[in-house]
Amino acid sequence: MHAFAKAVVLAAGLALAASSAHAVDPFFPTFGNNGIDVRNYDLDLDVAMPSSRLTAKATLDIRALEDITTFRLDLTGLTVSEVLIDGVPAVFNQRNESKLTIRPRVAIPKGKSFKAVISYAGAPKPIQDPTVPDDPSYQLGWFTYDGATYALSEPVGASTFYPSNDEPTDKATFNRIAITVPAGYTAVANGLLKSTTPLGAKTRFVWSMDEPMTTWLATVHINRFDVKVTATTTGKPLRFYSTAATPAADVASYAKSRSMIAYFETLVGPYPFDSYGSVVVDDPALYYALETQGMSTFPLGAADEGIVAHELAHQWFGNSVSVAAWADLWLAEGFATYFEVLWPNRRSPAAFDAAMRRMYDYAVDAQLGPAVVDRPEDIFSDRTYVRGALALYALQLKVGTETFFRIARTWQETYRGRNANSRQFILTAVDVSGDRTVSTLLSDWLFKAPVPPLPGGQPSAARRLGPAPKPDLVGLRCGRGSHRGAPAVCAGAAAN
């Protein structure tokens, strides 16, 4: 097994970080801190509306991974008034505009756990999206529009509303996200709604995410929402938040999550969180849905069942099992795209096969490069989504449907609540299938430039009818060549 594992790594042709390493991501080196491990975030946010000015207290349970005299958290555009380390005031500064540097009164030895309580305030603003560094219209984090607020942070926007260790391998629970808003507003966040408390002219909503979550998946939505409450077939709460502008058909589509969860559970194992739901954003500038953990976010005009299935699939693939590095995002987007196509075709294997072969034709025509990408600008590209989904379909054709889903379930069981990388996926696939040649197949799909043939070699029926049109997928809306559309164009163009 060892010699073989080594061969896989060599075949991969890349030095991949071990998933257990807690590491600042090479794509976004200015975010995160390798010296600390945040265990839990407790966020207490008071938000004035409609300004969305924030007065907040964040309590972080942290373990020192090295001897600490000073340490840094990511925090941008907000002013800190006090930092307590285990109850003792600490010296701090914000000289670097995107960092909070803290010097505890006494040094903290490696291995010790401590509590940091950070009081801060300000008017949160989004920051530049570093995956589109040259276009200031792409921003991340906390947005305010039309008297409402939402926070969407993939990949590095968390620092716009809470002090965080903003790198993808430092997952933490968020045992409490408390949001106090003026009466009449509803505040939505990740996970379970624990309480709603009227406080005179304000209302306090307390949410809780008890399973580990990456920093970028934390979300806050404040608006005048309607809510539809149901439960999964296993009794977990489902909450679907909409606004007066949300078409009834869209709400019905979000509510399909209930049967989707039941269906996905038969394929890949139990839904990994205590609750699920969705929330809509009316802001016409938002052009993508996001799999915010336990409470997916949908923009206007993106409620078709494929998209709903895509964000739901992420709860298993990407959220519970998170990528160890952004380069490996196909492990999230490839699976989500696969299930986006599977859901509407679930009753017809032939229709599913035809849809995947249309996608294959597109990948060949577009000469899509390997699913694992080498730079931040490509993380939301077709390589991640389309070639990632096709790598999975190639695996399914090679090992058979039953073994394929056994691999997916084992992947979930093995890495639940943690991070994992491409090499570990290959090892899981080889291990479960007992077929060593699976390693070559996946390495070709994930790391090598030419689009490999699909196992079985059957050509697509559509193949000879000219260039393949773009398949109809989440990331391919608004006529974009990558998964990124010009927001202004998308505003009018809606889905597909």
Residues lying near ligand TRP in the complex (CB under 6 A)? 154, 288-291, 310-311, 333, 336, 380, 474-475, 483-484
**Smallest distance from the beta carbon of 414 to ligand TRP, in angstroms?**
23
> Given the complex with ligand TRP, which of 297 and 443 has the nearer CB atom?
297
Residue 283 site contact among ligand TRP, Zn ion, none (CB < 5 to 8 Å, cut-off depends on kind)? none
Q: Which of 16, 261, 336, 446 binds Zn ion (CB under 5 A)?
A: 336
**Smallest distance from the beta carbon of 299 to ligand TRP, in angstroms?**
10
**Interaction between residue 321 and Zn ion (CB under 5 A):** no
Q: Which two tokens stand for residue 33?
A: 């801190």
Please give the residues from 156 up to 175 whose contact with Zn ion meets the rule CB under 5 A.
none
**Smallest distance from the beta carbon of 447 to ligand TRP, in angstroms?**
22
CB atoms within 10 A of CB 18: 10
Residue 99 site contact among ligand TRP, Zn ion, none (CB < 5 to 8 Å, cut-off depends on kind)? none
Residue 221 site contact among Zn ion, ligand TRP, none (CB < 5 to 8 Å, cut-off depends on kind)? none
> Given the complex with Zn ion, which of 129 and 333 has the nearer CB atom?
333
Q: Which two tokens stand for residue 428?
A: 């899981």
**Smallest distance from the beta carbon of 315 to Zn ion, in angstroms?**
11
**Smallest distance from the beta carbon of 329 to Zn ion, in angstroms?**
9
Stretch that binds Zn ion, among 128-136, 265-273, 328-336, 446-454 (CB under 5 A): 328-336
> Given the complex with Zn ion, which of 33 and 257 has the nearer CB atom?
257
> Given the complex with Zn ion, which of 33 and 482 has the nearer CB atom?
482
> Given the complex with ligand TRP, which of 222 and 289 has the nearer CB atom?
289
Residue 154 site contact among ligand TRP, Zn ion, none (CB < 5 to 8 Å, cut-off depends on kind)? ligand TRP
> Given the complex with ligand TRP, which of 120 and 380 has the nearer CB atom?
380
> Given the complex with Zn ion, which of 44 and 333 has the nearer CB atom?
333
| Site size for Zn ion (CB under 5 A) | 2
Please give the residues from 216 up to 275 whose contact with Zn ion meets the rule CB under 5 A.
none
> Given the complex with Zn ion, which of 238 and 336 has the nearer CB atom?
336
Q: Which residues bind Zn ion (CB under 5 A)?
A: 333, 336
